[in-house]
Amino acid sequence: MLNIFTTIAKCEIEALALGCFDGLHLGHFELIKCLGENSALLVIDKFKSKKLCTNEDKRELSKKEIIELDFESIKFLDGQDFFNALKKEFPKLKHIVVGYDFSFGKDRKYKAEDIQRISGLKTTIIAEYKINSQAVHTSLIKDFLSRGELEKANEFLGRSYSIKGALIRGQGLGSKELYATLNLECKEYFLPKNGVYATFCELKGRVYKSVSFIGIRLSDKKFAIETHILGDFNLKLELGECLKLSFIKFLRENQNFKDFTLLKAQISKDIEEALKILEKKEQK
């Protein structure tokens, strides 16, 4: 018996795409295109690291059901045993979709080319997906994000990189000394390089232009994710509400300022630059 987590009826599933799907980038969408009705993504999470998207994000982006399979329950299984167990869990299963580099079975003994022979299931193998001769991989996207190269990361993802988190209480200094900010607690996602960004902020179904900060606050030397909404903003918010930040462009490195006057002057410049970038983005 496989350790599978799902809220859907397994007896209706006819096709599965198998993989980690830890980033859900353009390469993954080539697999999703091959799935018809009564299909799902079988997510095998073996890394347990900070991710580019959650299962909820994957469901929303792929428009497919997400089924999570605990890697610990399969890592010692032989390839034949794995697919026998999979067919028991999904009695109507007919079609498997995997990437070219998929491997399975104890010690990664079997490759994608072995699936149809071992399982008897129709198998579609998707070739490596490239942009400008560069292979699209989650590790590369994380490298882009770590360097603040949002344009490249977003190109490989096929969307603006986004994180979600709960609204938390800030210091209250922004509204008094600088610019009012919303503070975000985010524990699940891989975070871009510390710095200041032009972003879009989504709250209660509405999207706002914003400038966001990731890093160590000058005031209390604590790590924070903060965003300042640009323009009129009069939503009444409660702590714990979900906030989504979409990163568009890295504006600058974090800096140390001698006083709040200098910091406020720099934030004013950040706002002006972000508005130009975000207005262009909206026009596309």
Residue 226 belongs to a domain: yes
Q: Are strands 65-70 and 39-45 parallel, antiparallel or unpaired?
A: parallel
Q: What is the pLDDT of residue 57?
A: 94
Q: What is the pLDDT of residue 194?
A: 97
Residue 142 belongs to a domain: no
Is 93 found in the same domain as 37? yes
Q: Which domain holds residue 71?
A: 4-135
From residue 124, alpha-carbon distances to 34, 99, 229 in Å are 8, 8, 46
Is 189 found in the same domain as 70? no
- Supply the CATH number for residue 50's domain: 3.40.50.620
Q: pLDDT 10s digit of each residue in the chain, 284 long?
A: 566 666 667 888 999 999 989 889 999 999 999 998 899 999 987 767 788 999 999 999 999 999 988 888 787 888 898 899 899 999 999 999 999 999 988 878 889 999 999 999 999 999 999 999 999 999 999 999 999 999 999 999 999 999 999 999 876 554 555 688 999 999 889 999 999 999 999 998 899 999 999 998 877 788 999 999 998 777 788 889 999 999 999 999 988 877 778 888 889 999 999 999 999 887 55
List beta partners, residue 111. 103
Is 183 found in the same domain as 222? yes
Is 213 found in the same domain as 264? yes
CA angle 45–50–54, rounded 5-degree value: 65
Residue 151 belongs to a domain: no
* CB within 8 Å of 279: residues ≥ 6 apart: 209
CA angle 233–236–240, rounded 5-degree value: 115
Strands (E), the chain: 4-5, 15-19, 39-45, 65-70, 95-99, 103-104, 110-111, 122-126, 130-131, 134-135, 161-168, 182-185, 195-203, 206-216, 223-229, 242-252
Residue 72 belongs to a domain: yes
Q: What is the pLDDT of residue 47?
A: 67
Is 36 found in the same domain as 130? yes
Q: What is the pLDDT of residue 262?
A: 86
Asked if residues 68 and 43 have their Cβ atoms less than 8 Å apart, the reply is yes
Residue 149 belongs to a domain: no
Residue 130 belongs to a domain: yes
Is 105 found in the same domain as 20? yes
Report the distance separating Cα 159 and Cα 146, nearest Å. Answer: 17
* Count, residues in the chain: 284
DSSP state, 269?
Answer: H
Residue 150 belongs to a domain: no
Q: What is the pLDDT of residue 284?
A: 58
Q: Are strands 110-111 and 206-216 parallel, antiparallel or unpaired?
A: unpaired
First to last CA, the chain: 50
Is 22 found in the same domain as 125? yes
- Supply the CATH number for residue 188's domain: 2.40.30.30
Q: What is the pLDDT of residue 105?
A: 81
Is 192 found in the same domain as 107? no
Q: Of 77, 101, 135, which residue is a domain's last? A: 135
Is 105 found in the same domain as 14? yes
Into how many domains does the chain fold?
2
pTM of this structure = 0.89
Asked if residues 124 and 34 have their Cβ atoms less than 8 Å apart, the reply is yes
Sequence-ordered alpha helix ranges (H) in 21-78: 26-32, 55-62
Q: What is the pLDDT of residue 172?
A: 58
| Tokens found for residue 196 | 């200041």
Q: What is the layout of strands, in order, in the sheet containing 65-70?
A: 4-5, 65-70, 39-45, 15-19, 95-99, 122-126
Report the distance separating Cα 178 and Cα 246, nearest Å. Answer: 23
Is 171 found in the same domain as 115? no
Residue 76 belongs to a domain: yes
Q: Of 135, 152, 187, which residue is a domain's last? A: 135
